Structure 1
Amino acid sequence: MSLKLDDIKKARSRIGPYINKTPILTSSLLNQWLGHEIFFKAENFQKIGAFKARGACNTIAWLKEQGNRPSKIVANSSGNHAQAVAYAASSFGIPVTIFMPEYSSKIKIQATKSYGAEVVLSKTRIITDEKVQEAASEKSVYWIPPFNHNQVICGQGTAVYESLRDLENVDAVFAPCGGGGLLSGSLIATRGLSPKTQVIGVEPLNANDAAESLRKGSIQRLSTVPNTLADGAMTMAVGDITFEYLKQLDDFFEIEEHHIVYWTQWLTHLLKCRIEPTCAMSMEAVRRWLGTKKTKKRVLVVISGGNMDQATTQKIWQKDWLGVIPTSII
């Protein structure tokens, strides 16, 4: 089934009571430096601190709408999706068990528990995935995957849907790629509301399974857990549903770790709020894309989340990059 704008609209209506309509931020200094207008959809101010609340809430609301309320929800995730499903299930009064690898952010594990979920930790992502499949085979148990699900995609797409209803004449939308759910939903919303606006994906070079998949024309899976500070993009492979949408993107960028560090520092400073490395890396793609343009552009960047533990924070700030302004970065 090919999803359309109407599916995003229905999702936005379903999740209205359960999510925040997040703000759009700008930095006049950044705009002055780069010579373009850049807008940030601040999903770090979303419920659970990330856009993932949208997809989780929409999926459960859709199940209820279909008369298919499960007796239990299960999910597998290393971070924000875990918290999102825990929050959504709690909001609908449904018991939930989340399966997470042990290397997940400690703060995200604790937050998932705080939303009322039972958390089961495993040594590897493979074991985690096996356990959630086993749990999902039980009667009246529903598995909400992190990205490869139509209703998850529709929920995630509501972030850009909201943005493009508030902003006019946007030339390009940038969003990070983990499993591709946010990008897929963003593409559907953009094509429906603003067909001339480009949609551009961004991924860590150290976790570039989506880029490799697009180059080779088939889904490529990483052989090991990637070494990247962008923990929201550590997905081993995109899904068969999301890949079909990723193939329709206008461009795709792979970003090195030092650029991820740089923009996490600078966006935190310029926007005065906590921002995850996973979405901060999109700004390097924006900078490169704008560098090829001869006229002033209006760009939307999805700030996908603001959940970052102390260990990652320390790695981000080992070297101070705020002495190097964005006009001179190489």
Structure 2
Amino acid sequence: MNQPTFDDVLNAAKRIQGKVHKTPLFESALLNKWLGHRIIFKAECLQKIGAFKLRGAVNVLAHHAECGTLPQRVVANSSGNHAQAVAYAASLYNIPVTIFAAKSISPIKAAATKSYGADLKLYDSRPEADEAVSEAAQLPGTLWIPPFNDKDVIAGQGTAALEAIEEAGNVDAVFAPCGGGGLLSGSFLATRGMLPDAKVIGAEPANANDAAKSLQSGIIETLPGPAQTLADGAATPSVGEHTFAFLQELDDFYEVDEIQIAYWTQWLQHLLKLHIEPTSAMTMAAVAAWAVENETPKTALVMLSGGNISATSMQKIWQQDYLLQPPMICPEEESQHEQHL
């Protein structure tokens, strides 16, 4: 298996320069005071298409352009942000694109995908969409851009952490959410390349804990059915062989319940004044638990993966007002901790 390396992340950064935004860093003095540590946020919610996914998709096509092998058409399967990313990236090269997705796709992400010129085909379940895209990819001149299990995709996603570390300087830990594991794998590569001693820590919904189960068993596990979670960007049925290899090298991994996902979505939106997806905010449960475990003040970098939220999701997030309770740090309540190393 040909795995991406830190050099691939560096090359990706050169390829996508000027085609994606260099997103800013944010922090909250109040949050830092509450947690007793400095928490820096990489705001990929301000990326074009509203998510980090654009980096990987653009890197794939930019690499093909570099090699003179651009396809006649592009296909992809996605729960939302990757769909938008591939549609936008393909439009940069005037390549027709078809996206295959489950009918549960966020309406706002579906609308955005179509607005970038993609033909969107919907199926009853994610496995059905995955099977359909696999068949479509067999047509001559067709390139299938996977959501995460691809060398160029992972390298492209790693450029977000690379940028953040270059700007922030030394950090003690890097946190990222885990769906299929592309952002987390890329962040691992960038962090190990830039700051070998920094911890790399992941988080996923307890309701979609295929990665945690895979880390426990040592083999890739698949969710038995569609995941019911606010963090729709992390509802992937399983990780891939490329990303799983990196997940096994992580320093720590956490499962986060739905209350904590809603809680931290509200608080981060309030403290940072940013429109942040539940998948992004979920990672803060892991940060809070890490903060308790480290008595000496440290610096953490948190990858905010995106900011595309449907009205339905927003209503669910705000069914209860958690802003009445400032962040209380208690590892047992914050998340279910999975130690694998």
TM-score (norm 2): 0.96
Name the stretch that deviates more: 319-328 or 154-163. Answer: 319-328
Q: Separation in 1 of the partners of 2:117 and 2:75?
A: 13
2:134 corresponds to 1:133: yes
One-letter code aligned to 1:309: S
Large movers: runs of 4+ above 4 Å: none
Q: Separation in 1 of the partners of 2:119 and 2:8?
A: 31
Q: Secondary structure at the match of 1:291?
A: helix
One-letter code aligned to 1:261: A
Between the two proteins, the alignment pairs up a number of residues equal to 330
Counterpart in the other structure of 1:280 = 281
Q: Separation in 1 of the partners of 2:142 and 2:109?
A: 23
Q: Secondary structure at the match of 1:44?
A: helix
Instruction: Note the residue ranges of structure 1 that are not aligned, 5 or more in a row.
Output: none
1:214-245 per-position Cα deviation (integer Å, ceiling 9, x unaligned): 01101001110111110000000000111001
Counterpart in the other structure of 2:323 = 322
- Shift of residue 294, structure 1, vs aligned partner: 1.5
Q: Separation in 2 of the partners of 1:37 and 1:306?
A: 22
Matches within 5 A, 1:1-330: 1-327=2-328, 330=333
Q: Separation in 2 of the partners of 1:129 and 1:60?
A: 21
Counterpart in the other structure of 2:336 = none
- Shift of residue 167, structure 1, vs aligned partner: 1.4
Q: Separation in 2 of the partners of 1:2 and 1:79?
A: 25
Instruction: Note the residue ranges of structure 2 that are not aligned, 5 or more in a row.
Output: 334-341
Contact 2:76–2:100 (CA<8 Å) still a contact in 1?
A: yes
- Shift of residue 328, structure 1, vs aligned partner: 5.8
- Shift of residue 276, structure 1, vs aligned partner: 0.3
One-letter code aligned to 1:228: T
Q: Secondary structure at the match of 1:232?
A: helix
Q: Separation in 2 of the partners of 1:328 and 1:66?
A: 50
1:116-138 per-position Cα deviation (integer Å, ceiling 9, x unaligned): 10111111111111110111000
- Shift of residue 5, structure 1, vs aligned partner: 1.6
Contact 2:3–2:151 (CA<8 Å) still a contact in 1?
A: no
Contact 2:3–2:242 (CA<8 Å) still a contact in 1?
A: no
One-letter code aligned to 1:284: A
Q: Separation in 2 of the partners of 1:157 and 1:44?
A: 16
Name the stretch that deviates more: 153-162 or 119-128. Answer: 119-128
One-letter code aligned to 1:34: L
- Shift of residue 279, structure 1, vs aligned partner: 1.0
One-letter code aligned to 1:95: P
- Shift of residue 327, structure 1, vs aligned partner: 3.0
- Shift of residue 65, structure 1, vs aligned partner: 1.2
Q: Separation in 2 of the partners of 1:301 and 1:328?
A: 17
What is the root-mean-square deviation of aligned Cα atoms in Å?
Answer: 0.9
Q: Separation in 2 of the partners of 1:90 and 1:35?
A: 45
- Shift of residue 76, structure 1, vs aligned partner: 0.4
- Identity in percent: 56
